[in-house]
Amino acid sequence: MRDSSGLIQIRYAVKKLHPLTRIITLVSALAMISAYYVPLWQILMWAPQYPEGLEMKIWIDNITGDVKIISALNHYIGMRPIDVSMFPEFAYMKYILAAMIGVGVLAAILNRRIGLIIFVMVVVAAGVAALVDFYLWGYDYGHNLDPNAPIVVPGMAYQPPLIGYKQLLNFTAYSGPDIGGWVFFILGLILITLLLLELYKFNRNENPV
């Protein structure tokens, strides 16, 4: 009985994808190429002296925006200058993305449910890892301050928000997905929905034999 159950699971995993699922999987994988050309994340800041706001855009291998102004302001409270060298991840993120796209394309070519399962797992794992990595960077950047800074507030830390708004002295900071980040979020939802539809289709409409 146990062997029969295992055989059923194997047959389920190697079942072909629904034609629409296969097409959407391929399109989703190719859509991730956009992350090479649009910013993934953004950090925005507002203060009475900067009512128009300051912005920092995080790309797959670069940082743009009002980086010099933000770094100069951060200097007064003991934070390190923001520089691309602070992010060693930039050296390999583009290769990780290429691998993710390859997994998605391969899943569509092989046309098996196991491929879609692996692709979804890779996308979800990459998203979680990116958020954890950003949180750890923000914690280190906001807590390891220069004790000789011009402005020292005992017990104060300046960790930027992971997602959402946060008040940092007289600045209101916002952190959240930019175009590339939203693309990944939407694609992740689409892929998870596809996988659930495949599971539902198998459990309700298919004979595993």
Tens-digit pLDDT profile for residues 156-183 = 788 889 999 999 888 899 999 999 999 9
Please give the torsion angle defined by the CA atoms of residues 201, 202, 205 and 209, in that order, rounded to the nearest 10 degrees: 160
Q: Residue 57 and residue 63: Cα distance in Å, rounded?
A: 6
Q: Where are the domains of the chain?
A: 17-205
Q: What is the pLDDT of residues 122-131, one digit of tens each?
A: 999 999 999 9
Contact present, 144 and 157 (Cβ < 8 Å): no
Work out the pLDDT band at 3, boundaries 50, 70, 90: low
Report the mean per-residue pLDDT for the chain.
Answer: 88
Say whether 168 sits in a helix, a strand or coil. strand
Contact present, 17 and 116 (Cβ < 8 Å): yes
User: Residue 105, Cα to own-chain centre: how many angstroms?
Assistant: 19
Say whether 17 sits in a helix, a strand or coil. coil
The per-residue pLDDT for 5 is: 56
- The dotted CATH code for 17-205 is 1.20.140
Higher pLDDT, 154 or 101: 101
**What tokens appear for 140 in the block?**
């280190």
The per-residue pLDDT for 120 is: 96
Question: Residue 205 pLDDT more than 80?
Answer: no
Say whether 44 sits in a helix, a strand or coil. strand
Which residues, other chains included, contact 88 with Cβ-Cβ below 8 Å and sequence gap of 6+?
Answer: none
pTM value is: 0.85
The per-residue pLDDT for 155 is: 76
The per-residue pLDDT for 101 is: 97
Q: Residue 170 and residue 192: Cα distance in Å, rounded?
A: 41
Q: Residue 33 and residue 54: Cα distance in Å, rounded?
A: 28
Q: What is the pLDDT of residues 49-89, one digit of tens each?
A: 898 999 999 999 999 999 999 988 888 888 888 889 888 99
